[in-house]
């Protein structure tokens, strides 16, 4: 074998090895990304301290302030002459928020408290309570784990994620972009509308695809449209929704739209296009 041929074989081997390494690296990054993407959807109350690395006391204080701010929102808005903003969004139950459509800057969420102190848009608070109660009455154990989030709360989660990444060795100039893959950039989380809720099964509290097989999700998926909710991020639709399959995230759109979306088999994004 001549020298040239030997070099060619060695080069080919090296290239194959590098390709394999890159594939493995890419795959593990993708897995970490998927897990974190799921995790960011669970960042309210009970899990708050753990996720942002704060003490329970500090987390409770932030949580309290969040509730206060939200409850004062309408009063403050009217006092500051922003009643027109409330009027503007009053009937807009189908507002689209996703990675490409931010929560409008003048949007005001008007909230009610539901069980465990979670906040939800007052237009769907009763429907959510009814859905949870009926799910329970059917012998299931539903638990809310995330509902309304303020912009500041989302910002805090996002900044904390950046801090933790940097502390773990990520370059500071790369951290914001990497953080955005797992914690929605403030302004692009549907939870900021107050019309989204995450519900899990007490018997299986992991936010992963197996959540779909729990009794709670089976019941919710079969019945949520009766209460005006849709499963917002169905399996195999992440290209369209920008979010991984989340068999725990429900969005309120009102009963007639929920029924129509369900019958169409479309994602919310696709359904809205049919209305244009």
By CB under 5 A, the count of residues binding Zn ion is 3
Cβ closest to Zn ion, residue 41 vs residue 201: 41
Q: Is beta strand 142-146 parallel, antiparallel or unpaired with respect to 196-201? A: antiparallel
Cβ closest to Zn ion, residue 41 vs residue 121: 41
Query: Nearest-CB residue to Zn ion?
Result: 249
Choose one: 12-20, 99-107, 166-174, 246-254; the region binding Zn ion (CB under 5 A).
246-254
Is 102 a catalytic site residue?
A: no
Question: Could you say which residues in the range 13-52 bind Zn ion, by CB under 5 A?
Answer: 41
Q: Nearest distance from residue 198's CB to Zn ion, in Å?
A: 4
DSSP assignment of 81-110: T-HHHHHHHTT-TT---BTTBPPPTT----
- Which of 42, 39, 38, 36 has the alpha carbon at shortest distance from 198? 42
**93 Cβ partners below 8 Å, 6+ apart?**
123, 195, 252, 253, 254, 257
Q: Nearest distance from residue 146's CB to Zn ion, in Å?
A: 5
- Asked if 41 and 248 touch (Cβ cutoff 8 Å), the reply is yes
Cβ closest to Zn ion, residue 28 vs residue 35: 35
Q: Which residue has the tokens 């955005």?
A: 180
* Catalytic member of 41, 156, 190, 246: 246
In order of 50, 244, 261, 266, the CA distances from 273 in angstroms are 39, 21, 12, 10
- Which of 144, 133, 130 has the alpha carbon at shortest distance from 201? 144
Choose one: 51-59, 62-70, 83-91, 192-200; the region binding Zn ion (CB under 5 A).
192-200
Beta strands in the chain (DSSP E): 111-113, 119-121, 142-146, 196-201, 229-231, 249-252
**Alpha helices (H) in 41-123, listed in sequence order:** 45-52, 56-79, 83-89
Q: Does 249 bind Zn ion (CB under 5 A)?
A: yes
Choose one: 19-27, 163-171, 197-205, 209-217; the region binding Zn ion (CB under 5 A).
197-205
Q: Does 156 bind Zn ion (CB under 5 A)?
A: no
Choose one: 108-116, 129-137, 190-198, 256-264; the region binding Zn ion (CB under 5 A).
190-198
Q: Nearest distance from residue 191's CB to Zn ion, in Å?
A: 6
Q: Nearest distance from residue 5's CB to Zn ion, in Å?
A: 58
Q: Does 121 bind Zn ion (CB under 5 A)?
A: no
Cβ closest to Zn ion, residue 118 vs residue 219: 118
Cβ closest to Zn ion, residue 52 vs residue 243: 243
- Asked if 227 and 253 touch (Cβ cutoff 8 Å), the reply is no
What tokens were used for 260?
A: 């129509």
- Give the residue numbers marked as catalytic: 246
Binding site for Zn ion (CB under 5 A): 41, 198, 249
């Amino acid at each position: 074998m001549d020298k040239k041929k030997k070099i060619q074989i060695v080069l080919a081997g090296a290239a194959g090895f590098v390709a394999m390494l890159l594939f493995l690296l890419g795959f593990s990054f993708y897995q970490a990304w998927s897990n974190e993407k799921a995790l960011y959807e669970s960042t309210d109350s009970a899990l708050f301290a753990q996720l942002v690395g704060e003490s329970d006391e500090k987390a409770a204080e932030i949580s309290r302030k969040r509730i206060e701010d939200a409850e004062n929102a309408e009063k403050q808005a009217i006092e500051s002459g922003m009643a027109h903003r409330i009027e503007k969004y009053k009937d807009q139950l189908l507002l689209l928020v996703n990675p490409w459509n931010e929560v409008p800057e003048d949007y005001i969420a008007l909230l009610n408290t539901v069980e465990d102190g979670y906040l939800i848009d007052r237009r769907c608070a009763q429907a959510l309570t009814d859905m949870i109660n009926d799910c329970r009455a059917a012998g299931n154990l539903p638990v809310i784990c995330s509902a309304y989030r303020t912009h500041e709360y989302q910002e805090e989660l996002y900044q904390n994620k950046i801090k933790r990444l940097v502390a773990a060795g990520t370059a500071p100039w790369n951290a914001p972009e990497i953080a955005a893959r797992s914690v929605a950039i403030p302004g692009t989380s549907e939870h900021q509308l107050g019309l989204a809720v995450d519900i899990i099964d007490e018997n299986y509290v992991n936010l992963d695809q197996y959540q779909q097989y729990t009794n709670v999700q089976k019941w919710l998926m079969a019945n949520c449209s009766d209460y005006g909710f849709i499963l917002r991020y169905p399996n195999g639709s992440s290209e369209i929704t920008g979010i991984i399959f989340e068999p725990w995230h429900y969005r309120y759109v009102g009963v007639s739209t929920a029924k129509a979306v369900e019958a169409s088999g479309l994602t919310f994004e696709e359904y809205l296009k049919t209305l244009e």
